Structure formats: structure tokens, C-alpha cells
Amino acid sequence: MILHPAFPVEPWSVREVELVLDSLAQTESVFALSNGHIGLRGNLDEGEPFGLPGTYLAGFYEVRHLPYAESAYSNPEAGQTIVNVTNGKIIRLVVEDESFDVRYGELRSHERVLDLRAGVLRRSAEWVSPAGRAVRVSSTRLVSFSKRGVAAIFYEVEPLDGPTSVVVQSELVTNETLPDSEADPRAAGPLTSPLKSAAFDDLGTRAILVHSTRASGLTMSAAMDHVIDGPAGTESNIESFEDLGRLTIAAEVAPGQPLRLVKFLAYGWSSERSVPAVRDQVSAALTQARQAGWDGLMAEQRAYLDDYWDRADIEVEGDAELQQAVRFALFHVLQAGARAERRAIAAKGLTGPGYDGHAFWDSETFVLPVLTYTTPQAAADALGWRHDTLELARERARQLGFAGSAFPWRTIHGEECGGYWPAGTAACHINADIADAVVRYQAAAGTGAVAFERDVGVELLVETARLWRSLGHHDALGNFRIDGVTGPDEYSALADNNVFTNLMAQRNLLAAVDAIQRHPDRAAQLNVDVEETASWRDAAQAMLVPYDSDLGIHPQAEGFSQHQAWDFESTTPEQYPLLFHFPYFDLYRKQVVKQADLVLALHVRGDAFSDEEKARNFAYYERLTVRDSSLSACTQAVIAAEVGHLELAYDYLCEAALIDLNDLQHNTRDGLHIASLAGTWIGAVAGLGGMRDHDGVLSFAPRLPQALSRLAFRLCVRERRLLVEVRAEEATYSLLAGSSLEIVHHGDRVTVEPQRPLTAPIAAAPARDSPSQPPGRAPEHRRPTA
């Protein structure tokens, strides 16, 4: 989309200077607003035309039956699907009996701007009705970071050619008709009328609708209130029905005297509270919003984001488009998690219904590293949600015949919703991914994580460690094996000793031992004894990590390097993604990689490989990886940079950053790729910035590609704020807040002191032969924009 001339490149906004109807569904995702609790797709105010309507609440779902050709023990019987809840965005306009619709009359101008500093979506349009009446319409939409349950819209209409009769209809609409999803085997069909009315009411300029889901038993409420600023004689009328609340405003408006409307929205839901309680909750939130007023909400939003950008901004010099994409990515990652507050962070955030609104391992492996170092409380809350679902994970482990907890591959509430077990239940590395996120957060938070570790971290580490000790076994040679599992690469399933899984399980087991030693009282509460911790340590020390000495590389899993290579030469560009055109039965038996797997292990467990092993492994897997998943490019960027392929790292970083702005996967219509957007931070900070955090040691090995003259990023770490500035030949580390901090720069331990920036030279990248990719699957070579 950003390649279209309607989308200029700007450092702090995404601007659309003309309405591109063919891209409406995609821009609705790009222009979505959220705070992690409420999500509003960027639909037009008047509701039509649309690509895909969408209003979502974090964790609010409906249950749907999972069909199977034949039953099997332990298969999940029900799935969960995010619900398109009551739409409060709609503000319809009638001009002299003609409905404002951009498809009719003359649209003289139209502009939308996602303002990344102010945290709002602005829109302005000049329209001439079929009857020849010209009006200017403008709106500003906001989802509040400071008030979790509140959104608001400022709306203005002004005639341009004389006094005009206008009617504005501000609505709450439930059970909207949704279009069918596109032909994607990973997408479920839309729910039909998932909400049933529980109550509705109206008074003055306020309306409240309360609804419940038909199967999951959740209750939600949406409410609206208004402040009207119109000429003398302006009249309004409020009405409500089971699925509709509507305020109608009629006025005779003259040029220079616009009709203005502030619409306050409040949302809330509960699985336990009564209808009156949920209704009163949103009523209270509305009152709070009205008390703050539009100007107050705008000021709070700007203050929140000023602080966010001060601790999280990434500056890129040399590529203006990448700079815009990086900030766009950071903004949407913040929107996905800021106020989720112990509810799942979905793969699409709250920008669309893709993947049924499920959370996957994406959260812990890609999103939480970003939140840990930029918005630590949001990372703690996300892990708190996992802790809240522990009992469900314990029950799943018992069902599978294992000890400890088996966290779901995909879910909203905590139950396993993956109906295809080779790529779901068997992908049990998610348990170690959660443990890894716990370890990272605790190391980065420092003393601030003491209470978190006692209340949340220890139990998560213990229960996941128990799973690995139960799932694996010691063989006759004394090796600890984990057989029959699926790693990150979904084109290889049910493998023995997947390197990523084994190394992550090893870290999980050792972290659990350390946690128990720090908290012996928690050990007693969790019934952990000396014998159990010794078994964890023994398993970790004996963990089998396959190695192919003939090739000098680590096979992705035992025997992988002996599989037949995929016939890349005979695979046409139209046959990607491969899962749409080839059976898994064929994919599983071949050397072809959907997404970084062994290469991801080189990043997150880089402490387990030598520099030469990383270089050889990267070159080997580069020629097998087709990137049919959006999760791959950022990891390839990280390792490409580490082993010295800086231009390739730059190409991969840009692919991750532009995944949605350029609709590279052709499915942005269903919501943004939050993990890939988080991967933009990973590619910049861990890739070009060379940041690693193994065993609590914060290290950097930065290097820049030729196109970039400067990269600067900020981190929150151990109650400090650190600024890292990278140029071609040197890096500078500055403490923006907090006491002295010891770090490692290109292998040397150094200490950064307050008010004393430290500058150190950058070592040259090693010279290596450029790796090759499968035919037609190399990333687009980057030509930076000025």
C-alpha cells in the first residue's frame, strides 16, 4: 500500500492522501486503533463502504465446535473465536436528504492520517452530494491508553456553499453482517449473530447495550454519550433497541458555523459479573470520560506517548521509509499489549479477526522481548495471563499423560484450540518459550521483578520444567532425548530432538533449578524436592543436541539433513506459500523450511554455538528457507548481521518492517502481523544493534549496512534507560536515567556511567561468501528512500 502514491513517506505518521477503495480492507488494519483492551478497525465513520468491519475486546470470544473426520483421544473438542462486538464507530451523515457515501456524488478530497505521536486517527473529506451540496467532514478518533475502557471521536461537519440542513446519526450497532473470509485454509468462517441482547437503555444523549455470547457465556456492554455543539435550533433524539442505540441530531448549518460532536465510547466485559454490574461498569467509564472531556483525553494520550517514545523510539538515518515503518511497527506493538492486563496478546492484536483472534508462541518469542525492554509492565501482565491459565495447562498435561503444564499452541482463554495436533499439541516448545520470556523479563527488570518472580515466575518455571522431564527420557547412552515434537518450522513435524526445542528446554530446566534455589519456601509450596531439581539438572546437562559432522552443521532435528532436498527449481513463484499447493505429507519428508527454526536457535540460544558454527548453519539453512511465514525475516536479519552479511540483514529487516504497509503476505486485510512488526524491533536492536541478553548479561555487537549512517535505540533495563547510538565506525552508550550499568561491547566489558556517554570502536565484520536462497525466495534488495 505504501508504494501507492496516495501514501507519502513521513517520519511520524502514516498518511493516505486519497481514498483507495481497492485497499480499503488493508487500510482498515493499518489505521486500526487499540490500547490492548479495545480494538477499533480503521473503518470509515459512516460505516460504508467497508472491507471488514471490526470492533474487538481482548479475551472476548465465542466457542465453536471443532469438526474432525474421525475422533481421537485428547483432540480439542471446541475452538474459540474472537467476536466482532458492538460497533460504536458509526456516525452517519445526511445532507439535504442525501446520505454521505464516498461512492456517490463527488469526493473532492479525502485524507486519513495515523498520527503516531498523538495516538489518533484523523480524517478529512470534502464531498459534493448528488444534489450538488458541498460539505467538509472531519473526524479524530482515539482509543485511550490512560483510560482502559474508553474511546472517543471528535466529529465536525460544515457546509461550503450556503446554509444546509444536515442530520447526524451516532450509533451503536451489534451483530453486523460480516463478509466471508478469503480462501485461506487457516481462517475460520465469520460468526453469525454471535451476541444476544441482555439489556438496553437510553437517556438524554446516552445509550447502553448489553449482550451475551450464546455459548461461551461472556457478557459485554457498550455505551455512548455525546457533547453536541451546534447552531441555535439544533435538536437531538436518543433511542435504543436490542441491537441498536442511536442518537439523531438535526441542524441547519451555515458556512463558518460547523456542527461539532464529541462521541464518548465505553466498553467492558466479564465472564462472572452480572448484567447490571457490567452495565454500570461502562456507565462509570463514560462518566469518567466526560469528566476528562475531549481535550483532556487528547492531552493524556499525548503525555502517555511522549513517555513511550522517550523510552522506546528507534531512529534510522539513511532510509526514510524504514524509519516510518519502524515507528509504525513500534506503535502497533504497543497498541497490542499496553493495556491487555492479564489477557492474551493475539497474533493480530486487536486489528482484525485473523487466526480467530488466537495467541500463539509469537507472544513470548517475538512480542514480549519488545515489551520487556520498552513497556515492562505490559510484559509482566502478559506473563501474568499465562500464570492465570496454569490450571488449564496442568489439566491439558494430565490429559496427555505428562507431568507439569502443557500450554496451548493456540488459544484465547487458555484451552487448547488447535485441531491439527502435529502443528499444535506437538509444538510443545511453547512451554519453553514462556519460560524464556520469564527469564528475560526477570533479568531485565532487576530488583523490580522480585515480587513477580515469587508470585508468577517460579511457578511458571517449575511447571514447564516438569513437563520437559516428563516428556523426555534418558537413552542407553545417557543422552536426554525429546522425541516426536514439532519445532518452529511448520514444514517439519513430529521430529526427534529438534535443536531449538531441546536447547530451549535445557534453559527452562536450569532456570527452574535456579529459581527454586532462590525461593526455597516456594519449593515447599510447589512440592519440589531435592531429587526433582537434581533430575532437572541431570536432564539439562545430558540434553541431546544433534550435530552432522559430515556437513559441519546442526540438523534442525535428528536426521533432517539426511532428508531429500525439496525440488526448488521446479517450484513456481505461484506455488508459494507451499502449504497452499502441496500436502504436508510431502513437505514433512523434505528439506524445506517454512520459517527460521535452527536459525532461531542461533539467536535465542546463541550461547550454545560457536561463531563458526553460526556461520555454517546460517549458510546451510539460508538455501532451504522459503519464508512462507512472516515470523522468519526478522530472525534471518539477526543472524545475517551477526555472521557479517550486513546488506542481507538490512534486506530482511526491511521485509519484516514493511510486512503490512506493503501487504507482502497479501492478508493484511485480516489484521496486522504483530509478531513481524515486533520483529522490526528485533531486527534493528538484536540484528544491526547486536544486542544479546544471555544469562542476564547485556551485550552489544553493532554494525550498520552501507545505506544507514546512524541507528539509535532506547532500552529500559534494570531500572535504567539506556540510549545506544550506532554509526559506521563507533557506538555510543548513554544512560538517560538510572545508575551505572555494566555491558559488553564487541566482547569487552565496559561500564556506562550517568552523564558520561561511552564511545567505543566497532570491529569490522568478518569476510564471508554470500549465502544463497531458494530460487525466487531471496528478499527484495533494498534501495533506501531519501
Q: In this structure, what C-alpha cell is assigned to residue 700?
A: 552489544
H or E stretch covering 587:
helix 584-587
**Residue 682: strand, helix, or coil:** helix
Q: Residue 19 and residue 375: Cα distance in Å, rounded?
A: 34
Among 700, 705, 688, 683, smallest CA distance to 761 is for: 700
Q: Residue 786 and residue 783: Cα distance in Å, rounded?
A: 10
Q: Residue 631 and residue 285: Cα distance in Å, rounded?
A: 37
Q: In this structure, what C-alpha cell is assigned to residue 225?
A: 454519550
Strand 564-565, strand 710-717: pairing: unpaired
Q: Residue 333 and residue 675: Cα distance in Å, rounded?
A: 8
**Residue 601: strand, helix, or coil:** helix
Q: Residue 556 and residue 567: Cα distance in Å, rounded?
A: 19
Among 479, 621, 623, smallest CA distance to 543 is for: 479
Q: Residue 20 and residue 7: Cα distance in Å, rounded?
A: 10
CB 671 within 8 A of CB 30: no
CA 18 distance to own-chain centroid: 28
Q: Residue 122 and residue 142: Cα distance in Å, rounded?
A: 9
Q: Is the Cα torsion angle 358, 360, 362, 365 positive or negative in sign?
A: positive
CB 633 within 8 A of CB 679: yes
Angle, CA 649 vertex, CA 644 and CA 652 arms, to 5°: 160
Active site members: 490
Q: Residue 593 and residue 578: Cα distance in Å, rounded?
A: 10
Which residues contact residue 466 at a Cβ distance below 8 angstroms, ignoring those fewer than 6 apart? 403, 404, 405, 532
CB 112 within 8 A of CB 102: no
**Residue 695: strand, helix, or coil:** helix
Where residue 383 falls (left for φ over 0; alpha for ψ -120 to 50; beta otherwise) is alpha
Q: Residue 499 and residue 602: Cα distance in Å, rounded?
A: 10
Q: Residue 552 and residue 559: Cα distance in Å, rounded?
A: 14
Virtual torsion, Cα 418, 424, 428, 429, nearest 10 deg: -110
Rg (CA), the chain: 27
CB 535 within 8 A of CB 526: no
**Residue 536: strand, helix, or coil:** helix
Distance in angstroms between the alpha carbons of the first and the last residue of the chain: 19
DSSP H helices, 193-339, are 275-312, 320-337
Q: Residue 412 and residue 360: Cα distance in Å, rounded?
A: 9
**Residue 200: strand, helix, or coil:** strand
